[in-house]
Chain A
């Protein structure tokens, strides 16, 4: 019995060392939950085609930036551009972040399917999130209070939403509920009659209703030509200009296969 355990432990130790050695040949991605699906699909495709291991973690754009600065990932996936403070911190540590756009993403404003509201203006959405409009009646809906759902402070989606809709220096109301991923926002909105939330375009499905912003629905065409007002690019960040397999990986969105995968996931090619 003891022998067996010993054997097992040795084997375990060996595998751990082996993976440690293999880590040199791995591409590690960390960051946005929005870019997550693209990164994962790319990773599966890439490792199948080139035999290089690619691992993907989703811990939020802010964490991605942090990992890149700390050197614990090769590529930071981010659903917002790096902030000046982050770039300065990176420079200080000798890291030179280089951005490359993966795809475009429209932030879809979603409500419960039973909600009669079809369209809101950007100003109305901003008022709802600032807490000055608190009842659906004020925007042509039923007489119920609005349950405002936002993302946690870690989220690039939250940051983009703030920049694109609310503007800098204005706070989201304290009564807004906070959810930690696109998926949990969707599940809350799909089960709460009076909720409003925002999702990456790729996460929208039949369980929630997308409403038009300034009369325009987020579609491939409207995001691509820039007429949908709440859209943003998604990024891969590397330390310095990428080369070798990392460059191949970063350039996937330019290939036919890469474009097909991005479209299938509901994101929009540049």
Chain B
């Protein structure tokens, strides 16, 4: 009986608060929100702090040496007397390996994500995804060691055949597709059934023959290439693409999953095949997530230091010709890592500050690409929601 009355009283009290309790609750609420706000803003503040301190040490470099040398000259001799701080070749090298790794990792990563989310049965996906994500857990120095000790000599000794096989394996499917599509397109206009079929077969054989000729011709040219040095832009691009893959696969697979069953089933219900569903429904719907995945992966490649420091050759040169991935290059990150040791206020200030200028440049590049991707994502969402 007594218990019941206590319960009764509590129940009524929850609705009618005393003034003291109300202020206490209010205080607790403000305190809790304040802590959460502080934690959230801490992250933002860290970014601002990094920006501020990097910029603070980068600005003196431009005050001492000006802008033009840094961005237009390729003479990188920070240690000699007089010193030269031309970073053009280094910036170019960074962009080159980032582009190279993106060219390899993005198609592979997105294809793998589509395969994981829409093609493979669930039981396989359950195991395949963690295995791919495990790739992200390998320390970058291990990748670098592999690139320097195993992959570089391999490229030097078997470079030509490796390039040839890569060309055949990667290009043949596209060639086959192109032959079929072109012959189809060329013959659709012809009305007469029999003539069309004859011409179709003729075009198939003709273009098929041409493409096989092209495949072999380029293949033999590639076979003859002697890779002089294994520590080159191609080596680093390939290794970096492996490092960017898990990010791209994992994030875009999540985006594809997020599209949901209803859209897929709606598409099937309209009579679309699986290929049509993937290309016309799921990919557009998930495009913003896939783009985010791609940007994340590219940022990983741009910011990676250990692998490029060990295996890019670190020569401050723009390859000759400019698209030659078989020559050694040097990147911004590797330069910062490699030159940090000696660069100190003790040994000359421009040399110290130039590394911060490079760091600032990296920050700005990633900042801009993040902003751009953000804009694209927002616009994509607007288009998809029909606004």
Contacts and interface: CB of A to CB of B under 8 A. Distances in A.
B345 to A, nearest CB: 9
Nearest to B154: A191
Interface stretch (A1-9, A173-181, A259-267): A173-181
B12 interface: no
A145 interface: yes
A152 B309 CA distance: 11
Interface stretch (A97-105, A192-200, A229-237, A250-258): A192-200
Contact of B346 (A59, A69, A144): A69
Contact of A174 (B76, B338, B341, B344): B76
Interface residues of A, number: 36
A187 to B, nearest CB: 7
A206 B167 CA distance: 37
Contacts of B316: 174
Nearest to B309: A180
A147 B326 CA distance: 12
B315 A171 contact: no
Contacts of B231: 177, 188
Q: Is the interface of B mostly helix, strand, loop or mixed?
A: loop
Nearest to B152: A191
Contacts of A182: none
A66 B315 contact: no
A228 to B, nearest CB: 25
Contacts of B330: 178
A177 B348 CA distance: 24
Nearest to A180: B338
Contacts, number: 95
Given A177-B328, A194-B228, A187 B149 contact: yes
Contact of A178 (B229, B314, B348): B314
Contacts of B346: 66, 69, 85-86, 89
Interface string A191-215: 1111100000000000000000000
Given A147-B229, A175-B317, A191-B156, A60 B342 contact: yes
B228 A147 contact: yes
B89 A192 contact: no
B313 A86 contact: no
Interface in B47-70: none
B77 interface: yes
A174 B148 contact: no
Interface string B311-349: 001111100000000011010000000110110101110
B228 A153 contact: no
A159 B231 CA distance: 23
Interface in A78-99: 83, 85-86, 89
Contact of B228 (A66, A89, A145): A145
Interface stretch (B17-25, B78-86, B124-132, B176-184): B78-86
Contacts of A60: 341-342
A62 interface: yes
A112 to B, nearest CB: 10
A173 B226 CA distance: 22
B314 A177 contact: yes
A159 B338 CA distance: 15
Interface string A144-156: 1101000011100
B153 interface: yes
Interface in B332-377: 338-339, 341-342, 344, 346-348
Interface of B: 74-81, 84, 89, 148-149, 152-153, 156, 226, 228-231, 309-310, 313-317, 327-328, 330, 338-339, 341-342, 344, 346-348
10 contacts: A60-B342, A154-B339, A169-B81, A174-B316, A177-B315, A178-B330, A180-B309, A180-B310, A192-B153, A193-B156
Interface of A: 59-60, 62-63, 66, 69, 83, 85-86, 89, 144-145, 147, 152-154, 159, 162, 168-169, 171, 174-180, 184, 187-188, 191-195
